[in-house]
Amino acid sequence: MVASGPLLPSVSIVERTMGLARQSLLLALAGAAFIVGGLLAERLWLSEAQEAAANRHAQAQRLAGDVRLADQLLTSAAQMAVATGERRWVDDYDTHLPELDEALAQAKALAPPAAAGRFEQQTRVASEELGSMRESAFEAVTVGAADVARTIFDGERYRNNTRLLAAATAEFTAATVAATQAELTALKRRTYTVGALALLGALLLGAALWRRLASRLARSRAYFLDAEDRMQRLASSDLLTGLANRAALHDAMATAMARATRDGHRLSLLMIDLDRFKPVNDRHGHMIGDLVLKEVAHRLRRCLRDGELQARYGGDEFVVAIEEKDGATNAQAVAERIVRSLGQPMLIDHLAISIGASIGIARFPDDAGNGDELLRKSDSALYRAKTRCRGSVCHYDTSLDEQVAERATLEQAMREGIASGQFVPYYQPIVDLASRSVHSLELLCRWNHPQRGLVPPAEFIPLAEDSGLIGPMTLSVLRQACADLPCFPPHWRLSLNVAPQQILDASLVPQLLAVLREAGVPPQRLDVELTETALVTDTARARQVMQAMKDAGITVTLDDFGTGYSSLSYLAELSFDKIKIDRSFVQTLHERPQSAKIVAAVIGLSRSLGVQTVAEGVETERDARVLLQLGCGLAQGYLFGRPSPALQLGASVESSAA
């Protein structure tokens, strides 16, 4: 089962929230525009209606005055005509009569239909009778019969009709004014009502908009909180495995150490490094490697209790913190359980993957007083576990600090030694077994330390490989060896060992060719030896390097054949010029029959592949005779000469040949 990492949102949280914010803003603006627009339209309409009603009311009041004035003028003109008997007053009466009719007509247009009808009904008969009586009176005035005209005006009938007409006119004009006043009052009331309703509508719409906006803001807040939670989890989690990352590890360790100090128990830190993980990446690609790391995280979770700290420290390194309370949890037992679990084969994408793990353990407060020191000391314990053997569990002790300090001092001395030429070439001859003539020289490295003297390779080669100094050291020694070559016979070749780490360096072949070209040495005089470890590390890269060497004229030898677990597959995949039989088989030729059979099989295999065979570790004539009888062509060992500098090489070769 492969653990999955944290899921990331398909749509940006910021984009989603900004979209909601834009929608909310548009909704608020639309609502506000609707409210303001409605209020403005209502105010405009009511303002126009009020203005029109006010105009009608003013006109009604003016018409009422005009009617009263016209009626007074008509009455005065009639009375003067009767009193004086003069014709001009009759003419004056005729002049003002249309004015009254016009004012009454306009008043009827403004008055309510009921009031206008009632006025018409009340004044029709009186108006007709008064008109007839006035015509008779004015005719009498015209013929000089003023007494007759006075008699008509003074009569009861004329007075009654005049009073009736005046009362109806007053009632009618008052009704007209009252009607316009009522219309104006109704409009004002309507203005207040509509305003109140508009305000209520605005409040209701505002409440609805606020509720909608609050809902959207709540969703936006939820998105931001979710984004914040995701960012916190992403900031504290390893994206691939889902375990805590370095930052979260340091914080959790500080909390755990504070708790351990308070409760008086130990905190054990397990530094876990995967074995054989790099070949998985190199052979199957980083995608399979990532799936393996996920499976490792899943298995770690199964090995631990809920709540126990586990983190990916970087690359293929993991960290587990165990709180050992009252002996309930034992870090050693947990570490062994993890080693067993990670040592079980993994089925990844139909591939059977086998890795393993080495673990270093350090305890708080016994070994360290803070988090950084605890990590460093657990890493020191891990280094010892890996140097011991794969799948080991080691606890920190104080001697590790001394080893680390010595290692750092030695590494610095090596850097200075490479720069000052302290690493010098030694040579061991490789001879033709039949003729005992020198075929080539294996180039070996010795450290001529100014204080410690000659340091053997076993003490500095592993450190050079781990620290990345093996490349500069190899080139330095090769450069010196190329300077020694003119002292040797021209047919002698150089055999150079290349470490597995150097195979991964894309500049390896160009650097070798540059050194040869600088010294004027043809590439055909160089033979490069590759171990099976280098091939396991990255077969594809090894194939590219070998092809580049062959294209340049350099020959390639498979070193330590028989010690790896897949040698035959490499012989099938890769093209070698020589095969070296490991010294462990040569030195047990006579004690173990199986060794002789293996050597014979390797020689036969080499012959069938058309490549030469070189036997290492030949120390006796008996070994040389047996190897020659088995068909081995080349050999090296103390029988033919020990590793020595160039000045001593000649005497060594001559004595061994003799």
When pLDDT is cut at 50, 70 and 90, the band that residue 423 belongs to is very high
pLDDT on residue 103 = 65
Token pair, residue 170, equals 């007053």
> How do the domains of the chain map onto residue ranges?
13-215, 246-396, 425-444+491-657
Which residue has better confidence, 351 or 261?
Answer: 261
Pairing of strands 612-615, 317-324: unpaired
For the chain, how many helices (H) and strands (E)? 22, 16
Could you tell me which residues come within 8 angstroms of residue 284 by beta carbon, excluding any fewer than 6 positions away?
351, 353
pLDDT tens per residue across span 309-343: 999 998 899 999 998 876 555 889 999 999 999 99
Separation between Cα atoms, residue 561 and residue 431, nearest integer Å: 19
Per-residue pLDDT, averaged over 70-85, amounts to 70
> Model pTM?
0.53
pLDDT on residue 163 = 72
pLDDT on residue 57 = 64
What sign does the CA torsion over 543, 544, 547, 549 have?
A: negative
Which residue has better confidence, 488 or 165?
Answer: 488
Token pair, residue 134, equals 């006035």
Per-residue pLDDT, averaged over 526-541, amounts to 77
Question: Cβ(121)–Cβ(137) under 8 Å?
Answer: no
Q: Measuring CA to CA, which residue among 398, 429, 337, 341 is closest to residue 635?
A: 429
Separation between Cα atoms, residue 33 and residue 25, nearest integer Å: 12
Q: Taking the CB of residue 332, how many other CB atoms lie within 10 A of it?
A: 14
Three-class SS state of 639: coil
Say yes or no to pLDDT of 634 above 80: yes
pLDDT on residue 330 = 85
Polymer length of the chain: 658
What's the CATH number for 425-444+491-657? 3.20.20.450
What CATH number matches the domain at 246-396, 3.30.70.270, 3.40.50.1970, 3.10.20.70, 1.10.3720.10? 3.30.70.270
Ordered alpha helix ranges (H), 487-638: 500-503, 508-519, 532-537, 539-552, 567-573, 583-586, 593-609, 621-630
Say yes or no to pLDDT of 658 above 50: no
pLDDT tens per residue across span 360-415: 999 999 888 899 999 999 998 998 888 777 788 999 887 766 777 777 888 899 99
Tell me the helix, strand and coil percentages in the chain, rounded to 5: 65, 15, 20
pLDDT on residue 407 = 79
Q: Taking the CB of residue 196, how many other CB atoms lie within 10 A of it?
A: 10
Architecture of the structural domain at 13-215:
Up-down Bundle (1.20)
pLDDT on residue 153 = 67
Three-class SS state of 212: helix
Tell me how many degrees the CA angle 293-506-418 measures, rounded to the nearest 5.
105
pLDDT on residue 273 = 93
3-state helix/strand/coil string of 244-297: ECHHHHHHHHHHHHHHHHHHCCEEEEEEEEEECCHHHHHHHCHHHHHHHHHHHH
